[in-house]
A and B are shown apart, each in its own frame.
Chain A
Amino acid sequence: MSDAVALRPPRTLPLGLVLILIPLALAIAGLAIRYLAYAATVPDASIASFAQGMCRWDCSWYVKLSQTGYDPFPVPTMINAGNWAFFPLYPILVAIVRTLTGLQTIVAATGLSIMLCIASARVAWPLLGKDLRAYTLFSAFLVAGPFSIWLTTFYTEVLFLFLTLCVFAALQKRQFLLAGLFAALLSATRIVGVFIVFAILIEIWQAHRANGGNWRDFIPAVLKRPELLLALFIAPLGLFAYMAYLHFHIGDALAFSHVQRAWSRPSGLPPVFVWNALTSFPREGWVPTPSQQLAVAVIVGYALSIVLLVKKRYGMAVYSLICLTLPLFAGMASVLRFTAALAPMPLMLTELLASRRWLFAVALLGLLAGGYFTTIGWLTGYLSLV
């Protein structure tokens, strides 16, 4: 997967333990950093109110969804925005944890999210070329970095990232059926998860090529291996199951898409939206506008996708390009979140940043400082973070 040389420092602890302790220690540091920012921003801040205080924007939708399920039609609160746009798997998992532990929904979600971050780091170990510096940066990115505001509260992004890593880890081992199973869960987590089927198909093709196959005998070869067929068929199963549920619940299998109208999202071409955002200069001062920040996030995302292509990680690259591009047809809203939680992006970024010792140190400090300042931006309603 990676041509990076494994960099392992001399150690006395078993590697397996080190790989747990690193994200665990960073998770504790991340909690402390976010709490300090919370205490510096929110009047009467307390540990008891911390989890709820960090729950902003869509987080509140997920809390309610996890507690009361999907809206009927008409929506009882008489608004146009039913909660059908929010995919079910993570709210279901949080509801299970809440029921088992008796915790408040947001506390259960926060705990589960942090555990999923730690698990994500562990799953990413082989995908990071077993490079301890990249692993440390990746862990910091998840649990203590600027985007931990989403990954450690109640957003579906953390499960999306975890399952994406599971799919790619399974594909790395050529366990296609397992990858298909994780993909099925992924497609019940966020709509774009369904497109990981293309990554699976690309990996199957690469395995076929590695065995001396060509394009002429590709389809017959796949048809002869039912486990490959099954992997491809079950990959979108989560989405189809949710669609079936929506049909029987409110009569519209595409309600998750149709309800976007209530959010009044624009529609247009991605390059136009990106260009308009990029040229949305501040009226005064030099600080980039939220629109410009979102545009930069998109451009960084595409740049990392190109690096993935150059490194011949075609499955990740194609999947990333699809996941970056599709939401852009509805404007720039939330693209920073979508980019940051797209697993191949932080994988590639941290791998690059870990290539030099000094760069690693700067990046680690930057991530931790970013965790503090982004939390303040999050709590004060900074627009590009929505």
Chain B
Amino acid sequence: MSSTLRLGAYLLCGIVALFELGVVWLMLHPNVPPDYRAYYIDKTTTCLNQPVSGSYKLGTTVRFTPEDKDAAKLIRVCGLEGPTGDGNHAVGTSARLRFVYAEPATALTLQLAMVAIQKAGAIVPQRVEIVANGTLLDTVSLNAPAPQRFALPLVAPADGKLELELRFPDAVPMGPTDPDNRLRSIKLISAALLPADQV
């Protein structure tokens, strides 16, 4: 190998090494939105915020069944899987719904129908923390084999947008190696936001 070629090869080694070091630097400094970081990198949530429109008409009951899946898709943000039979299974430690409505309202009632999951043929009792726009509304308990219904009053958001989070502190793995975003807790059957005067 001539000395010019050798010099060129060393130079090329240097350039490649610099490029690779640069990529390592990029690797250590991701530039991503908070939702991305929380779900993929820090793994502080199992529910990746998806930009669903939340389009919803006040007073409508959305069922999480195969027949009603198009309406459910508009409000289903994350943490729900299916439909399976009569509802959507929650997966992970929380699930979110988004309601964006145009009708004027001052007071609302949130109606939810849910059932606790079964494991090895037995009910696994679940607590569900219901959080509306960041404020804990209530913690409900599910321990029956049939769906349970809950009605919770809340002040209507001024901007017509409600971000509903369901947290599952008692979620359990179904298999020995299930990761946190496969934990199971409840099956969501239906959800509705009713103007208080309709209840």
Contact = CB atoms under 8 A, between A and B. Distances in A.
Chains A and B come from one and the same complex: yes
Interface of A: 73-74, 78-80, 226-227, 229-230, 233-234, 236-237, 240, 243-244, 247, 250-255, 258-259, 261-262, 264-268, 273, 276, 331
Given A237-B20, A247-B27, A252 B36 contact: yes
A73 B181 contact: no
A229 B19 contact: no
A240 B32 contact: no
B19 A247 contact: no
Interface residues of B, number: 36
Contacts of B31: 247, 251-252
Contacts of B10: 226, 229
20 contacts: A73-B33, A74-B51, A78-B51, A226-B1, A230-B9, A243-B23, A243-B26, A243-B27, A247-B23, A247-B27, A250-B36, A252-B30, A252-B41, A253-B23, A258-B41, A259-B40, A261-B181, A265-B179, A266-B179, A273-B177
Interface string B26-54: 11001111011001110100001011100
B178 A240 contact: no
B13 A244 contact: no
Contacts of B9: 226-227, 229-230
Contacts of A247: 23, 26-27, 30-31
A267 B182 CA distance: 13
B102 interface: no
A253 B39 CA distance: 16
Contacts, number: 97
Contacts of B6: 226
Main secondary structure of the interface of B (DSSP, over half): helix
Interface of B: 1, 6, 9-10, 12-13, 16-17, 19-20, 22-23, 26-27, 30-33, 35-36, 39-41, 43, 48, 50-52, 78, 175-179, 181-182
Nearest to A268: B177
B179 A244 contact: no
- Ranked 5 nearest A-B pairs via Cβ: A266-B177, A226-B9, A258-B40, A251-B31, A253-B27
A367 B24 CA distance: 44
B12 A254 contact: no
Contact of A229 (B13, B32, B33, B35): B13
B178 A266 contact: yes
Contacts of A251: 30-33, 36
Given A252-B41, A265-B179, 15 more contacts: A73-B36, A74-B51, A227-B1, A230-B12, A240-B20, A240-B23, A243-B23, A247-B26, A250-B32, A252-B36, A253-B30, A258-B41, A261-B181, A262-B48, A264-B179
A329 to B, nearest CB: 11
A227 B7 CA distance: 11
A267 B22 CA distance: 30
Nearest to B19: A240
Given A233-B13, A266-B178, A244 B26 contact: yes
Given A247-B27, A268-B177, A230 B13 contact: yes
Main secondary structure of the interface of A (DSSP, over half): helix
A237 B84 CA distance: 45
Contacts of B12: 230
A340 B181 CA distance: 30
A244 B1 CA distance: 33
A187 B194 CA distance: 56
A233 B20 contact: yes
A148 B43 CA distance: 38
Contacts of B177: 266-268, 273, 276, 331
A273 B177 CA distance: 9
Contacts of A253: 23, 26-27, 30
B178 A78 contact: no
Contacts of A268: 177
Nearest to B173: A266
Contacts of B23: 240, 243-244, 247, 253
A252 B40 contact: yes
Contacts of A236: 20
A290 to B, nearest CB: 15
A227 B40 CA distance: 39
A258 B176 CA distance: 22
A107 B18 CA distance: 40
A273 B178 CA distance: 12
A240 B25 CA distance: 11
A268 B179 CA distance: 10
A264 B173 CA distance: 12
B138 to A, nearest CB: 28
B27 A267 contact: no
Contacts of B48: 80, 262
A251 B33 CA distance: 9
A79 B33 CA distance: 16
